[in-house]
Amino acid sequence: MKKIVCLGTSHTYGGAEEYDYTFYEGWPGQLSKYLEEQGIENYTYNGGESSFSSYFYPTKIINFYNEYKPDMFVIEVPDIDKVDVEISSAITGTYITVSYTHLTLPTICSV
């Protein structure tokens, strides 16, 4: 049995939280179903999360590895990651908002 962890954003999760998606409607479920059809037994974990930033991938990888000891990770790598920072005027005396968009680089992670 292959243990696979799929990480990513709402695309991995299966949509917005207000919709009731089944596991097999998202791509992790489609991957699991395809592997089963090919005769490959698997247990696929859907580690997708809405509004999830790639900055937290390392932490999630470590947590999933320590908990489940998967054979592999399949990771959604968004081509653009946006970071919004807001600092309350109560802290600095002036309201500060900064948006930063950058391209992420694909990373391959094997266990």
Dump pLDDT digits (tens) for 58-85: 889 999 999 999 998 988 877 665 555 5
Q: Which residue has the tokens 């999760």?
A: 13
Looking at 1-111, which runs of residues are DSSP E strands? Answer: 2-8, 42-48, 72-75, 81-87, 96-102
Please determine, for residue 57, whether its predicted confidence score (pLDDT) is greater than 80. Answer: yes
Please determine, for residue 51, whether its predicted confidence score (pLDDT) is greater than 90. Answer: no
Please determine, for residue 34, whether its predicted confidence score (pLDDT) is greater than 60. Answer: yes
pLDDT number for residue 82: 55
Q: 110 falls in which pLDDT band (50, 70, 90)?
A: very low
- Cα(22)–Cα(64) distance, integer angstroms: 21
Q: Which residue has the tokens 């698997």?
A: 42
Query: For the chain, what percent of residues have pLDDT higher than 70?
Result: 65
What rounded mean pLDDT belongs to the chain? 76
Give how far the C-alpha of residue 37 lies from the chain's centroid of Cα atoms, to the nearest Å. Answer: 25
